[in-house]
Structure 1
Amino acid sequence: MPVLLSLAITIVLIIFLIIKLKTNPAVALFIGSLFMGISSKLGLVTTVSTITTGFGNTMAALGFSVGFGVMLGELVAATGAVQSIANNIVKFFSKDKSEYALGLTGFIVSIPVFYDVGYVVLMPLARALSKKGNKIIPYFAGALVAGLGIAHTFIPPTPGPLTGASLLGVDVGAMILWGIVIGFPTFILAMFVYDKFFLSRKNFWDPTKDEEYDEAHAAEQRKLESELIKDEKELPGFFLSLLPVFVPIILIILGTVSSVTMGAENVPEIIKFVSDKHVAMFFGLLSAILLALSRNMKLGEIEKVLNTSLSSIGTVLFITGSGASLGAVLGAVKVGDALLEVVGAINIHPILFVWLIAALLKLAQGSGTVAMITTVSMVAPMAAQLDVAPVFLALAAFSGTLATAHVNDSAFWITSKMAGLTVTGGFKVYTLVCALQAVISLILIFAASFIF
C-alpha cells in the first residue's frame, strides 16, 4: 500500500477509535502504529521493534522531566501559591485592566500547572474581579483561556511542547525561550482584539443566551470556592510562590545560553548537570516541596498530593510514548519523503502545512496533546530537508491545535461550566479566544522564521 494512503487510513483509524469507540488515546495510537508499519510493508517483527524502540527512547528522554513537572504543578496548586501569585499581580494593575492581570497570572502558573487545575483555582478570583469591576464574565474567563491556554500549549515542561521539542531535536531551553517570545505577545494581542473587536460590540454578548444559572451547580461552586479561597495571611509569599515555576526554567535556559555563548564543548560540567531538563525539573520539584513545608504542610499531606499526581503522570506518559512510537514508525517507512513531495506539489509553505494538519487533527479528535504529538511525528522525518528551523515547525504544530477548539475538547466544558456559560457562551469565550491566538501566533511564527 502507498505510504501516504497508509498514513491517511492510520489517521482516520486513530480518530475513529478515539471518537467512536471511546478507545484510550494511547491504545489508539499503538493500534495506528501497528497498522502503519504493517500496511507499509515494514514487516511484523520490525514494526513491533520500531514501536517499542520509539516508546523507550521517548521515556528515556522525557519520563523524569514530565513526571517531576506534573508533581511540581500539583504541589504549587495545593500550597496556595497560585492564589498568592494572582493576588499580588492583580495589585499592580488598575481596576479597568484587571483582566490583563488575571491573564498574566494564568500565563505564569500554566507553565507548571495543567490548564484545568489553573482554571479551577483562578475562576473564583475571576468572578470576584468581574463583580468588583462591574464587567461581564467573558472579560475574565477569556483572559484565563488566553493566559492559561497559550502557556500550556507553547512552553515546556507541559507534555505537548516538551514532546514536540524532543521529537524534532529542538533544545528544550530554546523551546522555552521561543515559546515565551511567540506566546506572550500572542496572549496580549489576542486579549486586545477580543476586548476591542468582540466584547465591545453591543450585541456580541447576551447574558440571557450565553450564561446559565443552575442552583445546584452554583452551590457546588460556592463550596469549592470556600475550600480554595484562603485568607491572604495563610498564603505563601509572592516570590516564594514563583520559585518552583522559575527554578527549572532558569536552569534549563542557563544551559542553552551557556552553549551558545561558550560553545557546547566549553560549557562547564556543573552547568551541563544542573541545566539537564530532568535535573532542572527535579530541583523545581524540590523547591515546591520546600514551599509546601514552609506552609506547614505535613510530610504525609505532601506525599498524598504527589501520589495523586501519579495517575495524571501515567496517562500523560503513556500517550506521549505511544505518539512517539507512531513517529518512529513514520520515520522508518519514509513518510517524510512522501510528505515533502506533497508540500512541493501543492506549493504550500511548510509552516502553514504543519499548522493545518494540527488544526484538522484537533478538530477531529479533541485532544491538543494528541494532535501536537501526531503532527510532529508526521513532520519530524522530513524536518531536516525543509528550509525552516525545526523550532518553528514545532511552534506551528502547537499553534494549529488552538485553531479548532470546540465541544470535543474537555477544556471547553471545564471553561464553560466553571464560568456558568451555555454552549453558545463557551463558543464565544473558549473557541473564539483560542482561534484568535492560533491566527495571531501563526503570523508571529511566520515573521520569526523569515527573520531568523
Structure 2
Amino acid sequence: MEPMEPVYGAGTLLTIAAAAVAVLLFLIMYLRMHAFVALILVSFLTGLAAGIPFGELAGVATSFFGSTLGSVALLVGLGAMIGRLLEVTGGAQVLADTLISRFGEQRAPFALGVAALLFGIPIFFDAGLVVFLPIIFSVARRFGGSVLLYAIPAAGAFAAMHAIVPPHPGPVTAATELGGSVGLTLLVGLPVAFASWYVGVYLFTKAYAGKVMVPINDSILRGTMSGEPSDLDDADDDARAERIARGEEEVTPPSFGLVLGILLLPFLLIALNTTISTLRQAGTLGDGVFLDALVFVGQTPVALLITLLVATYVLGTRGRSLATVESLLNDALAPICAIILITGAGGMFGGVLRYSGIGAALSDSLADLGLPLIVSAFVISTALRVAQGSATVALVTTAGLMSAGVAAADLSDLKVVCLVLAIAAGATVLSHVNDSGFWLVSRFFGMDVKTTLRTWTVMETTLGVTIFVIALVLWYLVP
C-alpha cells in the first residue's frame, strides 16, 4: 500500500511518532495494558493524529495487520509444532547427551550451547529454556561448579536464535517489513548466530559469568526443596499409565542423526531454493518444471511444512496414535497465539507509521544527522528494547519505522539482511527488569536481581554488540 500524501511537515510527523512510542511504552509498562491491545490502540490514535481520514483508517490498519500475519503466522505456527514434536519425543535430550559425550566433560558448556542452537531453530526462547532445564541441571550436577557455567551458554543460544533466525517472529517480520528475503535471512542468520553466540556468550561465560558461583537449585523442577517425589513425578506416572491404557508403546528416543537431520532439513531446502534463484538471476540456469519445483519446496513455509510432515511420521507416530499426535500439535499452537497477534499488531503500528508519511520523515531526518542506515537501525532498536523490554516488539517497531527509508535506498537483499541483523542486535542488548526473559532466567536458575543483572544482562549486551559488529562488517563488505 503506497503512503498517502503527508498532511503535516516532517517536524510535526516526527513529534507524533515520538509521542506514539511514548504512549505505547506508558500503556505497556505503567498501565500494564496487554501489548496486543496497546499496539492496536496506539495505531489508531497515531493514524488520526497524522491526518489519515476516519473513513480510511480502519481499512489501512487492518490491511497492514493482515499482511503481517500472512507472512508470520505460517512460519511461527509450523516452527512451534516442529519444536513440540522434538521436545516430547526426547529429541532435545538426545541432542544434548550426544554432543556432550562427543565434546567431552571439559567442553560440556560448549556442547550444551550447540545443542540449544540447533534445538532453537524451530522453538522459542522461553519454551526452549523450559525444555532444557532438566538437561542443564543434570549436567551441572554431574560435572559440578556454578550452574551458570552450563545455564548461560544454553540460554544465550536460545536468545541468539530467537533474535536472528527465522522462523522466529521478530526476524521474520523485520525481513518482511524491510522488503527482504526470509530465506536469505535464515541462511545468513544461522552462521551469524553461531559466531555471535561463541564470542558474546560462550567466551563471556568462560571468562566471567561461569565463575560467578550460583549453586544448583532445581527445586522448580521437583516442586519442593526436599528429595521426596513431587506432584510432577505423579503426573508423569499418570501420563505413562494413560499411554499404556491407550495401547501406546514406551519407545526409545530417536537417534542423534535423525534429530539432526530433521533440524537441518528446512535449512537445506531453503539453501537449495536460494542457490537456484541466484543462478537463475545470473543467467547460469534456465527455466524448467523440475527447477521450479525445487524452488517451490525451498520456500520457507513449504520447507517448514515438509519438515513438520517428516517429523510427524518419523518421530511423532513412534508408539503414539495419530490422535495423540494431533493433540500434541494442537497444544503447541496455544502458547504462540499471543505472540502471533502481538506481532501482527506491531506490523499494524509500523504500517500506519509508513502510510502516514512518518517513516519517510524519520528516514530523512536520520539522513540529515549523517548516521549510516545500519547505525540508525541499531540505535532505534536499542532505545525501544531498553524502554519496553520485548525484543520482538523492538524488532517489529524498528523495522516499521525504517521501512520507508530502506525502500528509498534500493538496497540489495544482502544489505537488507544486514539491517535485520543490526535491528536484532539492538533488540538483544541490555535485558533488564522489564524483560520477561530476565525474570525467567532469574527464577529458573535461582539468582537474585543483582546477580542476574551482572551476568544475564551483561551477556545479552555482549551478544547484541557482537551481532552488530558482524552486521556492520558485512554491510561494508557485501554489494
TM-score (norm 1): 0.91
User: 2:85, 2:316 within 8 Å by CA — same for their partners in 1?
Assistant: no
Name the counterpart of 1:178: 188
**1:23 and 2:30 correspond:** no
1:37-116 aligned at under 5 Å gives the runs: 37-116=47-126
Residue number among 376, 381, 384 corresponding to 2:399 in the alignment: 376
1:50-449 aligned at under 5 Å gives the runs: 50-199=60-209, 205-207=212-214, 217-218=224-225, 223=230, 234-263=252-281, 266=287, 268-386=291-409, 389-449=415-475
User: 2:161, 2:193 within 8 Å by CA — same for their partners in 1?
Assistant: yes
C-alpha distance in 2, partners of 1:117/1:108? 14
Q: In angstroms, what is the RMSD of aligned CA positions? A: 2.7
Name the counterpart of 2:3: none
Evaluate the alpha carbon distance shift between residue 241 and residue 12 of structure 1 in structure 2; reply closer, same or farther with a 3 A threshold.
Answer: same
Q: Rg bigger for which structure?
A: 2
Evaluate the alpha carbon distance shift between residue 273 and residue 216 of structure 1 in structure 2; reply closer, same or farther with a 3 A threshold.
Answer: closer
Mean CA deviation greater in 330-339 or 2-11: 330-339
Mean CA deviation greater in 242-251 or 117-126: 242-251
Once the 2 structures are TM-superposed, how far is the Cα of residue 212 of structure 1 from its aligned partner? 10
| Aligned-partner residue type, residue 385 of structure 1 | A
User: 2:75, 2:167 within 8 Å by CA — same for their partners in 1?
Assistant: yes
User: 2:170, 2:395 within 8 Å by CA — same for their partners in 1?
Assistant: yes
Once the 2 structures are TM-superposed, how far is the Cα of residue 261 of structure 1 from its aligned partner? 1.6
Evaluate the alpha carbon distance shift between residue 162 and residue 206 of structure 1 in structure 2; reply closer, same or farther with a 3 A threshold.
Answer: same
Once the 2 structures are TM-superposed, how far is the Cα of residue 211 of structure 1 from its aligned partner? 8.0
Mean CA deviation greater in 266-275 or 94-103: 266-275
Q: Which runs of 5 or more structure 2 residues have no equivalent in the other structure?
A: 1-7, 241-249
| Aligned-partner residue type, residue 466 of structure 2 | I
TM-score (norm 2): 0.86
User: 1:360, 1:404 within 8 Å by CA — same for their partners in 2?
Assistant: no
Evaluate the alpha carbon distance shift between residue 244 and residue 213 of structure 1 in structure 2; reply closer, same or farther with a 3 A threshold.
Answer: closer
Evaluate the alpha carbon distance shift between residue 25 and residue 266 of structure 1 in structure 2; reply closer, same or farther with a 3 A threshold.
Answer: farther
**Superposed CA offset, 1:389-418 (max 9, x none):** 221111111111111211222222221222
C-alpha distance in 2, partners of 1:349/1:4? 19
Once the 2 structures are TM-superposed, how far is the Cα of residue 316 of structure 1 from its aligned partner? 2.2
Evaluate the alpha carbon distance shift between residue 129 and residue 421 of structure 1 in structure 2; reply closer, same or farther with a 3 A threshold.
Answer: same
Evaluate the alpha carbon distance shift between residue 349 and residue 48 of structure 1 in structure 2; reply closer, same or farther with a 3 A threshold.
Answer: same
User: 1:255, 1:276 within 8 Å by CA — same for their partners in 2?
Assistant: yes
| Aligned-partner residue type, residue 49 of structure 1 | G
Once the 2 structures are TM-superposed, how far is the Cα of residue 341 of structure 1 from its aligned partner? 2.8
User: 1:50, 1:329 within 8 Å by CA — same for their partners in 2?
Assistant: yes
Evaluate the alpha carbon distance shift between residue 89 and residue 213 of structure 1 in structure 2; reply closer, same or farther with a 3 A threshold.
Answer: closer
| Aligned-partner residue type, residue 396 of structure 1 | A
User: 2:156, 2:197 within 8 Å by CA — same for their partners in 1?
Assistant: yes
C-alpha distance in 1, partners of 2:31/2:103? 48
| Aligned-partner residue type, residue 387 of structure 2 | A
C-alpha distance in 2, partners of 1:285/1:246? 12
User: 1:145, 1:430 within 8 Å by CA — same for their partners in 2?
Assistant: no
C-alpha distance in 1, partners of 2:22/2:229? 43
Once the 2 structures are TM-superposed, how far is the Cα of residue 294 of structure 1 from its aligned partner? 4.5
Once the 2 structures are TM-superposed, how far is the Cα of residue 17 of structure 1 from its aligned partner? 1.4
Evaluate the alpha carbon distance shift between residue 26 and residue 220 of structure 1 in structure 2; reply closer, same or farther with a 3 A threshold.
Answer: farther
C-alpha distance in 1, partners of 2:96/2:218? 26
C-alpha distance in 2, partners of 1:175/1:451? 17
Once the 2 structures are TM-superposed, how far is the Cα of residue 223 of structure 1 from its aligned partner? 4.8
**Superposed CA offset, 1:52-89 (max 9, x none):** 11112222223322221222222221211111111111
Once the 2 structures are TM-superposed, how far is the Cα of residue 347 of structure 1 from its aligned partner? 2.3
User: 1:54, 1:328 within 8 Å by CA — same for their partners in 2?
Assistant: yes
Residue-pair matches, total: 447
Evaluate the alpha carbon distance shift between residue 440 and residue 305 of structure 1 in structure 2; reply closer, same or farther with a 3 A threshold.
Answer: same
Evaluate the alpha carbon distance shift between residue 211 and residue 298 of structure 1 in structure 2; reply closer, same or farther with a 3 A threshold.
Answer: closer
Once the 2 structures are TM-superposed, how far is the Cα of residue 219 of structure 1 from its aligned partner? 5.6
Mean CA deviation greater in 244-253 or 368-377: 244-253
Mean CA deviation greater in 78-87 or 415-424: 415-424
Evaluate the alpha carbon distance shift between residue 225 and residue 172 of structure 1 in structure 2; reply closer, same or farther with a 3 A threshold.
Answer: farther
